[in-house]
Amino acid sequence: MHQVVVTGIGIVSPLGTSVEEFCRRMFAAESGLVDIRNGFVGPNFPVPAAGRVPDERLVAPEALQRLGHKNSLKSHIFAAMATEEALQALPRDTPVDAIAYGTTDGISFDLIKSSFRKFDPATFDWDATRAETTLELLRDMVALHGNGHIEDQDLFTLNNACVSSNQAIGLALQRIRSGMWRRAIVGGVDARCTDENIMNFHMLGALSVANVPAAEASRPFSKSRCGFVRGEGAGTLILESLEEAQARGAKILGKISGYAASSDAFRLTDGRTDAKAAIHAMAGAIADARLDTQQIDAVSAHGTSTQMNDRLETMALKQVFGPQAYRMPVVALKSQIGHATVAAGALQAIATLRMLSDQRLAPTINYKDIDPECDLDYVPNQSRPAQLNAILSNSFGFGGQNACVVFQRYAS
């Protein structure tokens, strides 16, 4: 069985459009959330804040133009920017076998609606509503970069809501472990911070509508939390077998050692009230990594800032880790960038890898008041140094989907 390592990463997020900018601001306890009533939506829009990537920060990679791709879709630009940054770590003539990526292609109802409003059989862009377009774009970028051709059957589009990126990582982990693949590009993209999409989540009662500064709107695990803040972004990781990485002298950013997924099919927007399936996914990922719970040094929490998620995740952590849960740091990245749903796990993965390499915990900002039911160490408001060898990264999605990944520090 092959060990699996990460050798390249790239990111687009509300905290920055490069890994270095993102991590600098993350460790500095900054927020990427903004007031969207200042021009993006009207002053009476019911949701005041979102984690939007500023339009002026979006620079379509030259590869999109060279490939002749239509790049009007923001999701394409997000994914291309993140992947272009990750590919800088991969030399030419180093083949990529597959892509597994969480996307929202093919299910963006606002895009489909706007497309058919201007429907003209002679000029209509049918690709705008296909589910494969982002991965085909990334495949062409890989080829242009000199990393070979990826066959159609090795392009995996995943959309299981908030767990999509972690499932993409888990799929590649299993395939590379088994020897089926040597190297893969994984991650996720979600560029749906639109008024219609935000309104959809608002109608579910899931979003924060608190009359507070935007930077303080997402407050995971605080008693005063009142809903998540919609975010967006893209994260790309290059995964390969340890043997392949060592053979080419690659800089290894970390190991992926464990993965597990579960589904409870309980309700469209909620998980089980006993958190049984989330517990199963966390325990399964740790067992898959061949670690004991005592060897997990921190948790990168799903931490959405909703009343139910944070309470159930805390309860599940206590079940999995027992008394250790009270000594173990729990970090909630969504306090800084909001919830990028399909891309959330990829953004969290990059943050987790940097926590391991920098030996520093990111903060859970906006930790305002103590909830008696959420009584763990959430690394409140400031980052801090820590000895970190293994971190469990959680994603719990709509429909009762759960996917957890164990990342480890790599020591040569």
Q: Which residues are catalytic?
A: 162, 302, 339
Calculate the CA dihedral of residues 266, 271, 276, 282 and round it to 10 degrees. Answer: 130
Give me the helix-helix angle, 344-358 and 164-178, nearest 10°.
60
User: What does each C-alpha distance from 7 to 31, 208, 267, 344, 353 come to in angstroms?
Assistant: 27, 37, 38, 20, 11
Distance, CA of 140 to CA of 125 (rounded, Å) = 19
* CA atoms within 13 Å, Cβ hemisphere of 160: 22
Q: In this structure, what DSSP letter does residue 108 have? A: -
**DSSP-derived secondary structure for 217-244:** S--TTBTT---B-BB-EEEEEEEEEHHH
- SS3 state of residue 258: strand
* C-alpha 221, offset from chain centre: 19
- SS3 state of residue 60: coil
- SS3 state of residue 135: helix
Q: Which long-range contacts (CB under 8 A, 24 or more apart) does 325-329 make?
A: 325/376, 326/375, 326/376, 326/377, 327/377, 328/296, 328/297, 328/298, 328/299, 328/376, 328/377, 329/297, 329/298, 329/299, 329/361, 329/377, 329/378, 329/379, 329/386
Among 316, 263, 276, 264, smallest CA distance to 293 is for: 316
Give me the helix-helix angle, 19-27 and 344-358, nearest 10°.
70
